[in-house]
Amino acid sequence: MKLIVGLGNPGPRYAGTRHNVGFDVVDLLASRWGVGMQSEKFHAWFGLGETGGQRVALLKPTTYMNRSGQAVFAAGKFYKLELPDILVIVDDHALPLGRLRMRKDGSAGSHNGLQDIVDRLGSENWCRLRIGIGESVGDPKDYVLSRFEEPEEAVIRVARARAADAVECWIKNGPDLAMTKFNGDVVSDDAKDEKEA
């Protein structure tokens, strides 16, 4: 089994914010795979499904960003998962808008949600997929809770879809191929045209 975790904050106040891009990608995956996300389990919205013959669990923690590790730890323990079977999808305000960066391990940087997962799991050796939300303007706390401007929407829409593709590649082929194929700028010509229209 693989555990796919999208980070964000629950409730309509935070829907569509930059900080919730992880939630958005999990919702997209749930739609692709026909997985219901109405169950509440492990301090999260939760769904079970299958893709490419692989059983998958989708998780959106409801503990708010800074306590995301509580849900990841609980689900991982229940299913007796190895750390490499966990992939966390998260926003990154240090990356240009729409850029993806998958890693098999590494520090949390300045991201409190990732840091809480590191603390709860006692390890940095699990996969994370960062999605660039644009470099922060002003106070980073205010910036990540803001919504995408209209010109940015075309780019982030492509990024969400590419991130979902990267997750599917990770499940089927492992992190190395996913990193090779998806790390980098994701702004397609279509998105650029739509942005400039």
Q: What average pLDDT score do residues 63-70 get?
A: 95
Q: How far is CA 13 from the centre of its chain?
A: 19
Residue 194 confidence (pLDDT): 45
133 closest CA partner among 172, 92, 89: 92
Look up the pTM and report it. 0.92
Catalytic residue status for 19: yes
More confident residue, 159 or 135: 159
What topology does CATH give the domain 2-196?
Rossmann fold (3.40.50)
The answer on pLDDT for 135 being more than 50 is yes
Cα separation, 165 vs 171, in Å, equals 10
Domain extent listing, the chain: 2-196
Q: What is the pLDDT of residue 108?
A: 84
Q: Which of 19, 43, 93, 111 is catalytic?
A: 19
Q: Residue range 23-33: average pLDDT?
A: 98
pLDDT digits (tens, 9 = 90+) for 74-126: 999 999 999 999 999 999 998 999 999 999 998 888 788 999 999 999 999 99
